[in-house]
Amino acid sequence: MTRKKAERSETGDFVAFLIKLALFILILRSFIFSPFNIPSESMQPRLIVGDYLLVAKWPYGFSQYSLPFSVPLIPGRILPHSPEPGDVVVFKAPPSAHEDYIKRVIALSGDIVQVSNGVVSINGTPVDHKRIADFELPITPNSPCYRPEFESTVENGKRVCRYPQFQETLPNGVSYRILDIYEDSEGDNTQAFVVPEGHMFLMGDNRDRSADSRFPAQEGQAIGMVPEENLIGRALISVFSTDGSAEWIKPWTWFTAARWDRIGETF
């Protein structure tokens, strides 16, 4: 009898431990941090395919989109706070808010945004936009070149992609690098957009490979203007990056595929 009671006690303690662990992970995942991996080229050069990030959940407040699977347990938004232009944010993409996207905030409610010849203007003033050295990206299984003409060989014999790169500085002083690869692409010249109340104008840093607020919202593609209530959080730090060459059955490739120099980069 004593042994059975001890076994039941141990089983109960273990179940209680699992419940506490699950609650801890749920709270951490919902209100503190969440992971995010980069699936596309839209945020190059800052983010490349194979990067893994931690997203801070607290900067903009909390909503149902803070919770796993967007469970509708939080009405509206608690402790709301608007992002700053230049923030890199993760959000639920319109129109259905089913997919997680990552883009950079360019403008907020009431701002007028227009792109002319690849240069962004906010409230009638062009943002500072200057050409800098090309972006060099090593060719790897998850990062091929868009076109053969961008390929070249560097001194160590490795093949890289070279893309035209620019430094862009917003009116609030936030500066970052962008890619503008093709001349006269579809998003290089737009109408003037007025950002509605409670919305954001978002763009990818890789301007010719990003379906963003320059285009009408369409499921799985462009996003149009994004409501602030769709925010999940702000990109915080890169915690891992892989070039896509790893194989699960070959554990040593997990280390050789890692881009160690990208780990620990903050935003």
Look at residue 24 and tell me if it is in a domain. no
Confidence at 26, pLDDT banded by 50, 70, 90: low
DSSP string across 2-28: HHHHHHHHHHHHHHHHHHHHHHHHHHI
Residue 27 placed within a domain: no
Token pair 């273990």 is at which residue?
14
pLDDT(149) > 70: yes
SS3 224: coil
Q: How sure is the predictor about 32, in pLDDT bands with cuts at 50, 70 and 90?
A: confident
Residue 124, CB half-sphere, CA atoms under 13 Å: how many? 0
- Of 242, 235, 36, 210, whose CA–CA distance to 138 is shortest? 242
- Answer whether 163's CB lies under 8 Å from 44's CB: yes
pLDDT tens track for 56-76: 999 999 888 888 778 787 887
Give Dmax (Cα) for the chain: 82
E strand or H helix at 45: none
Domain for residue 26, yes or no? no
Average pLDDT for 48-56: 96
pLDDT per residue over 183-217, tens digit each?
888 899 999 999 999 999 999 999 999 999 999 99
Q: Does residue 254 form part of some domain?
A: yes
Flag whether the pTM goes above 0.85. yes
In a domain, 189, yes or no: yes
Among the options 42, 63, 143, 210, which is catalytic?
42
Contacts of residue 46, Cβ cutoff 8 Å, sequence gap at least 6: 88, 176, 177, 205
Q: Is 42 a catalytic residue?
A: yes
Domain, as residue range, for 231: 32-68+83-262
CA 117 to mean position of chain CA atoms: 25
Give the pLDDT of residue 3.
Answer: 56
Order of strands across the sheet that contains 125-126: 125-126, 119-122, 112-116, 193-194
Distances (CA, A) of 242 to 42, 143, 257: 17, 10, 5
Find the catalytic residue in 103, 210, 213, 238.
103
Residue 18 resides in a domain: no
Indicate if the pLDDT at residue 154 is higher than 60. Answer: yes
Examine residue 76 and state whether it is found in any structural domain, yes or no: no
Angle, CA of 131, 136 and 139, to the nearest 5°: 150
- Split into its structural domains, the chain has a count of 1
CB-CB contact of 185 with 178 (8 Å): no
Whether residue 78 is contained in a domain is answered as no
Q: Band of the pLDDT at 10, cuts 50, 70, 90?
A: low
* CA nearest neighbour of 41 among 28, 33, 51: 51
Give the DSSP H or E segment for 55.
strand 51-56
Point out which residues pair with 111 in neighbouring strands.
none
Q: Which two tokens stand for residue 87?
A: 């923030």
> Amino acid identity, residue 34?
S
Q: First-to-last CA distance in the chain?
A: 60
pLDDT at 9: 64
Regarding predicted confidence, which is higher, 70 or 127? Answer: 127
CATH code: domain of residue 250? 2.10.109.10
- The verdict on whether 103 is a catalytic residue reads yes
Q: Hey, what amino acid is at 188?
A: D
